[in-house]
Chain A
Amino acid sequence: MHPAVCFVYLLAVIGLTAFAGDPAVVLESLLGAVLLAAVSGMSKGAAAFAGIALAAALANFLFVHNGETALFFVGDTAFTLEALIYGFFVGVMLAAVCVWGACAVRYVTSDKYVWLFGRIVPAAGLTLSCAIRFLPAFVRRTAEFAAVQDNAGLPGSGTVRGYLRAFSASVGYSAEQAMDSALSMKARGYGTARRTSFSLYRITLRTILAMLAVVVTGALCLVLTLTGAGEFYFYPALSEIPAAPEDIALYCGFGALCVIPAAVVVCEKIRFISNTR
């Protein structure tokens, strides 16, 4: 998928989740995210996200004592139903954002970031691309330096001191290599003209359709939220989940927005299976 669609989508879905303030919206968001994670075969870390939700609920319950419906008292302090529910709400919201984030890591690959920054400042895109190449290479190299130097029995082997020695040798070597890289860049015309930024992504009909779907549903939800649809109060007492036509429109619209990526993934899988058969 074209990176522009990905970034606009993430902005819309995470933004709406974080600022909607409506339990139904947040729940939809979480379900959409979990659905996407499930169809992408990412079940790891589910427990951690559940833990976040529970911890937030518990923390709010323990430390916030607003609300009318007291469940029990400890001394003069009231532990209220509202605080518990609000804690849950925040927890679910956090979990939803985290799961969306995890999916983003999976689907928004490094070249998409390079595209984004390359759009804004070509040099930034290039720098990012270099960094993405360099950092893992540096970590691998340093580990190898440490293994070889320890093996040679240099002083401090196997200790922090030994590792620092390998680290500094690796830094020195990398600096040397970087000078070579600079020459290689110059040899290929770096700095001779205003850089353009090339990317593999092309704007196709598919991109336009996807973008339209995201923008239209996103904008609809945003407008509805701003005009007061889906208003919900936790304090002093829980309000009812609103069910006016505009609220229903918000829930449907946001629900649709949330299932788009999972639907795309499923469709692609089906196409892949039917093509390979």
Chain B
Amino acid sequence: MDQVKIQDLSFDYQGGGRALNRVSLSVQQGEFVTLCGLSGCGKSTLLRLMKPGLFPQGKRTGSVIFRGSELPAEPSRETAAEIGFVMQDPESQTVTDKVWHELAFSCESVGMPQGEIRRRVAEMAGYFGLEKLFERDTYTLSGGQKQLLCLASAAALHPELLLLDEPTSQLDPISAQGFIDAVRRLNRDFGVTVIAAEHRLEELLPISDRVIVMDRGAVIADCPPEMLASELPSGHPMEYSLTAAQRVFRIAGGRGASPVSVRQGRNDPVCRDYLAANITGQDRSFTPAGESIIEVKELWAGWGKTAPEVLRGASLKLYPGEIYAMIGGNGSGKSTLLKAITGIVKPLGGKIKRRKGLNTAYLPQNPCMLFTHETAGEEATEEYLKRFGLSDLSGRNPLDLSGGERQRLALAKLISGSGGRRPDALLLDEPTKGMDAAAKHDFAEYLKALAEEGLAVLLVTHDTELAAECADMCGLLFSGEVINEASPQEMLSENYFYTTPMRRLARGFENI
């Protein structure tokens, strides 16, 4: 029997703008469904229309049937428990100050008695491996831990349907994988139906039963993951989001069922033949023009006297016109490095040599920190708004923009400069966090264009695909030191883990 049946669902936001256009689909009990599409394609709206209490404001036609009856707009105790929902931002989703209280929150809300809450909370803490964190303050948790906590809190109500709205978009790859694994276990161990909206298809598609692609409010593909490579219209921007194996299969002109995971791709004759024939050692070489503008020598820095140093002798040079991508794991000191160069964190030792009169601009992980005006139009000059494709949004509040738009607006603001002076170097912290693959690709293009004009860019990122796409130089930061520097081609083809899925797929095939 269909657990969820959506028929002819359309939705218009108040003040115009069609978000959903005659969507019809059904989901079986226990299915794992990935919902994808570019930012603003309507996936969030669709998910929220399946969760009473979270319906967006606007005009709705059509029906959403859950287990045989139409879902009401107002939540009841039953629907609150049966349908779990996890959102994007781990920070704002956390409501209380203690981990145990956060876990118990959903049970308290539906009025469960003490004894039962105690049992469920203990059970969930055990299942999700949160025992050690149980009595901690929530603010001491990492983003990944908070997100797992949100999932556990929803799971404590024993839901039958779990709706996930880009739950890993703010997480680093390792935490994201941890979260996805936890969702998969819920699905496998308890038969919880999962509908996950995500940009991270590489990890999600191999474990999904079905994938639904949306575009401008309509479903354009609804098929098993292995059929997506053939079903997706050619030239569609969602191409960038496909898994590496699917992309190769598509380029190679394969028809029918495609490989999805890296493992399947490496065993697939179509992919193997294509990769063996087409891998070329093309190297985008970069020769620095003139003197370095920033030189970091043996830098030591940390977060105060009591905490251990995060950076322990990191060195690097940045040249005009260069895009330098620093990759590395969590806590390796990537963000601290940028903050030390900008001067927000005081170095404890070592030297930072900056060219005289150098003007640097720092874009923090959360671009909202830079916004001080009511509308996007006031944040940056018209010239740069236009250049970054934001002209149409100038009347909007910066906080209402999507992740990718916020990043572009922050970039436009920084490049507009203070007092009309353009920066010589851009320091970007995790700029593609939460962007869909197409937006990432655009962002990389903007960066390349800026570098052509002589701007130096230093970016720290988990996103190896971004590094592969636009960087001239790659550094690997490990335990506070830059342990390796090389061109991205060299670095990513030699690395086993810090590399793109495409490289993993193609490893060793050039010798066939």
Q: Which A residues are closer than 8 A to B by beta carbons?
A: 110-111, 114, 122, 126, 129-130, 132-133, 136-137, 144-145, 147-149, 151-155, 165, 168-169, 172-173, 176-178, 180-181, 183-198, 200
Contact = CB atoms under 8 A, between A and B. Distances in A.
B506 interface: no
Contacts of B118: 198
B381 interface: no
B111 interface: yes
B344 A149 contact: no
B106 A149 contact: no
Contacts of A126: 96, 108
B94 interface: yes
A78 to B, nearest CB: 55
A191 B108 CA distance: 10
A198 B138 CA distance: 17
B75 A186 contact: yes
Interface in B41-60: 51, 53-54
29 contacts: A114-B101, A126-B96, A129-B95, A130-B95, A133-B139, A136-B139, A144-B364, A144-B369, A145-B369, A149-B369, A149-B370, A151-B342, A152-B362, A153-B418, A169-B369, A173-B368, A178-B92, A184-B150, A186-B54, A187-B53, A187-B87, A188-B154, A188-B157, A189-B81, A191-B109, A192-B53, A192-B77, A193-B109, A196-B114
Given A192-B75, A192-B110, A129 B89 contact: no
A173 B92 CA distance: 11
A260 B150 CA distance: 41
Nearest to A137: B139
Interface residues of B, number: 61
Contacts of A200: 100, 135
Contacts of A152: 361-362, 370, 413-414, 418
Interface in B452-504: none
Contacts, number: 156
Interface string B69-106: 00000011100110011110101111111101100111
Contacts of B364: 144, 148
A172 B108 CA distance: 30
A195 B110 CA distance: 6
Contacts of B117: 196, 198
A170 to B, nearest CB: 8
A151 B80 contact: no
Given A130-B95, A196-B117, A198-B117, A180 B106 contact: no
Given A111-B101, A188-B109, A189-B77, 6 more contacts: A126-B108, A173-B368, A184-B92, A188-B157, A198-B114, A198-B121
Interface of B: 51, 53-54, 75-77, 80-81, 84-87, 89, 91-98, 100-101, 104-114, 117-118, 121, 135, 137-139, 150, 153-154, 157, 342-344, 361-362, 364, 368-372, 399, 413-414, 418-419
Contacts of B107: 196, 198
B95 A198 contact: no
Contacts of B75: 186, 189, 191-192
Contacts of B150: 184
Contacts of B85: 187-188
Contact of A189 (B109, B361, B369, B419): B109
Nearest to B399: A176
Nearest to A184: B93
Nearest to B374: A172
A132 B399 contact: no
Contact of A181 (B54, B93, B342, B372): B93
B91 A177 contact: yes
Contacts of A145: 369
A267 B109 CA distance: 39
Contacts of A177: 89, 91-92
Contacts of A172: 399
B97 A133 contact: yes
